[in-house]
């Protein structure tokens, strides 16, 4: 069975223009991930949306633009984010566990080993889904730039994942005519199609996702970029069916 890392972006988990969490999305995502766990797969979630949750918790009209404001929203929103996951997975007899990481945790040999061992023990329980987010209240990299895209690739490497699924608010990558690109052999083949636009609550955009793809592929981890608001995309990607944009592993040269 596979070890799968699933990254859910802010646009996938939020509603009201990103100013509150979407409970219906949490219920559907939990149901689809629970199906994977019942099938014998190990699943690790890397989740954004703590800042969006915090905007609602703190009663703000919009997402702050200053770093302290964003970090305050992350601190207030993270418990709300975890409550959403816990309630949704409880319906399927699954528990969740929270890990807040920074890139420094993964770069440090000792802290990386500790994180790896913690996740390994949680997955060994069989009914626990680890939920990982960057520690946005003290770290700045993902708050400013990446919306957890890079972190998800690093986590996939950390846990020796067989697959990384990036769930976003678009149906994979589109070509110049607006048609979905089902398979891309290399990131360099599709960079020309990356557009600068992104949602109000999004941090990364497609370029940071492709940087995450490139990192994961270099670690021999296949990746798919999927529409996180379309039912059935997760199961289709795990079964290697046509869904989103897939980045399969290149064949090793002999």
Q: Band of the pLDDT at 192, cuts 50, 70, 90?
A: confident
Instruction: Say yes or no to pLDDT of 125 above 60.
Output: yes
* Spatial contact of 6 and 165, defined as CB atoms under 8 Å apart: yes
Contacts of 3 (CB under 8 A, 6+ apart): 41, 42, 43, 44, 123, 159, 160, 161, 162, 163
Residue 196: its pLDDT value, please?
62
Average pLDDT of the residues of the chain: 90
Q: Band of the pLDDT at 200, cuts 50, 70, 90?
A: very low
Question: If you average pLDDT over residues 23-41, what whole number do you get?
Answer: 98
* Spatial contact of 44 and 4, defined as CB atoms under 8 Å apart: yes
Residue 48: its pLDDT value, please?
92
Q: Which residues of 158-190 are buried (b: 16+ CB within 10 A; e: fewer)?
A: bbebbbbbbbbbbbbbbeeeeeebeebeebeeb
Q: Band of the pLDDT at 145, cuts 50, 70, 90?
A: very low
Distance CA 9, CA 168 (A): 5
Predicted structure pTM score: 0.92
Q: Band of the pLDDT at 201, cuts 50, 70, 90?
A: very low
Distance CA 136, CA 38 (A): 32
Residue 250: its pLDDT value, please?
79
């Amino acid at each position: 069975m596979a070890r799968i890392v699933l990254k859910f972006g802010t646009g996938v988990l939020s509603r009201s223009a990103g100013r509150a969490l979407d409970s219906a999305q949490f219920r559907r995502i939990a149901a689809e991930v629970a199906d994977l766990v019942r099938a014998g797969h190990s699943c690790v979630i890397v989740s954004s949306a703590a800042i969006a949750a915090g905007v609602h918790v703190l009663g703000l009209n919009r997402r702050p633009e200053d770093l302290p404001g964003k970090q305050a929203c992350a601190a207030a929103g993270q418990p709300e984010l975890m409550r959403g996951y816990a309630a949704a997975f409880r319906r399927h007899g699954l528990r969740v566990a929270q890990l807040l990481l920074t890139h420094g945790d993964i770069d440090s040999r000792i802290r990386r080993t500790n994180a790896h061992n913690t996740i390994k023990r949680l997955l060994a329980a069989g009914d626990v889904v680890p939920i990982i987010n960057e520690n946005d209240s003290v770290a700045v990299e993902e708050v400013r730039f990446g919306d957890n895209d890079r972190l998800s690739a690093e986590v996939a490497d950390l846990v020796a994942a067989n697959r990384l699924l990036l769930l976003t608010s678009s149906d994979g990558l589109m070509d110049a005519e607006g048609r979905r690109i089902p398979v891309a052999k290399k990131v360099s083949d599709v960079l020309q199609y990356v557009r600068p636009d992104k949602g109000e609550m999004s941090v990364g955009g497609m370029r940071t996702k492709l940087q995450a793809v490139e990192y994961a592929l270099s670690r021999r981890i296949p990746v798919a970029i999927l529409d996180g608001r379309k039912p059935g995309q997760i199961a289709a990607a795990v079964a290697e069916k046509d869904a989103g944009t897939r980045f399969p592993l290149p064949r090793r040269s002999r």
